[in-house]
Copies of this chain bind each other. A is one copy, B any other.
Amino acid sequence: MGDPVGARQFVSVGELPLEYGGTLPGVTIAYETWGRLNAAGDNAVLICHALTGDAHVVGPAGPGQPTPGWWDGLIPAYLNPEDWYVVAANVLGGCQGTTGPSSEAPDGRAWGSRFPAITIRDQVAAEAALADQLGIDRWAAVIGGSMGGMRALEWPLLYPSRVATAVVLASTGYATAEQIAWCAPQLAAIESDPHWHGGDYYATGEAPVAGLGIARRIAHVTYRSEYELATRFGRNPQGDGRFAVESYLDHHATKLAGRFDAGSYVVLTGAMNSHDITRDRASPLSNLHAKLVVAAVDSDRLYPARLSTELAEAADVPLHLVKSPYGHDGFLLELDQVGHLIAEALIR
């Protein structure tokens, strides 16, 4: 009996060749599914989670599953498991069952600092290996927001014959200077935490939770909007004399540090920074076989709408705008708008 694993299943996909060279051996992928693959094999939908998400798209928290679904309500309201076989996998490099830096390397110790630098394309290759194992030749749709949108975008570029529709929400064709800039103090905070030990802290019994908490505070502000913070918190004090907005960020810092691995955070941040669909490709979107659906959140400052506009223009498709006061997190919070977009993208 191991630790409880929630509703996750696990599959071994063996050795994975990596974009930067070399291979990652013994890769396991954790995933959840809803519904059944139909006889024609044409009803499979892949949902790609963002940086700190996981395979648990919908459903309650419970043993082995620290968080409720991050798109709770999407299934069945907008993706009915009577019609669709929905798959969501924990991302390569993550910490919810898929191989990442906290996983055991072949020598029985955690990978830690030995975990290789990976790219979004490597993450998609891992998802393709999962699709092979599940007998899915072609996805009816690959859907994701933020880092998940990066994968949803790379999917039809890496595997043109395996994706009918890609839905890319609040994302980009490449990590921008500002996105990389915001990651810099986050990485520095984790890596200068004395419990980090160069990434090899797994056997110490301590983790760089302070550094990860600082990273989360930075990231969380970038995920929201100035307007929301002003109207929701303003200068309101807490009972303890601190500002309510400080307490709010403390809460998010503590919550993430309690459920997420700092090593995964660093590896996945590196993968996001590597993201650039034009790497080794000329005009990648000009002859896309898949149908591309692109949506931006109007108040998103981390993935500003111009980045989605660039994608839509390069692929010659319309740009959809999700209206939200919440900023980047609007792609998670505006479930009705996003759900309708997804349902519409799936109409055959």
Contact = CB atoms under 8 A, between A and B. Distances in A.
B234 A214 contact: no
Contacts of A230: 176-178
Contacts of A176: 226, 229-230, 234-235
A245 B188 contact: no
Contacts of A174: 235
Chain A residues touching B, majority SS: helix
A181 B221 contact: yes
A52 to B, nearest CB: 16
A250 B183 CA distance: 12
Contact of A189 (B175, B180, B214): B214
A180 B235 contact: yes
Contacts of A177: 229-230, 232-235, 243, 245
Given A176-B226, A176-B230, A193-B192, A249 B181 contact: yes
A178 B235 contact: no
Contact of A185 (B185, B232, B235, B273): B185
State the number of copies, please: 2
A184 B301 contact: no
Contact of A246 (B180, B192, B210, B214): B180
Contact of A276 (B181, B213, B226, B235): B235
Given A176-B226, A301-B226, A185 B249 contact: yes
A313 B249 CA distance: 32
A221 B182 contact: yes
A194 interface: yes
Interface of A: 174-178, 180-182, 184-185, 188-189, 192-194, 210-211, 213-215, 217-218, 221, 226, 229-230, 232-235, 243, 245-246, 249-250, 253, 273, 276, 301, 304
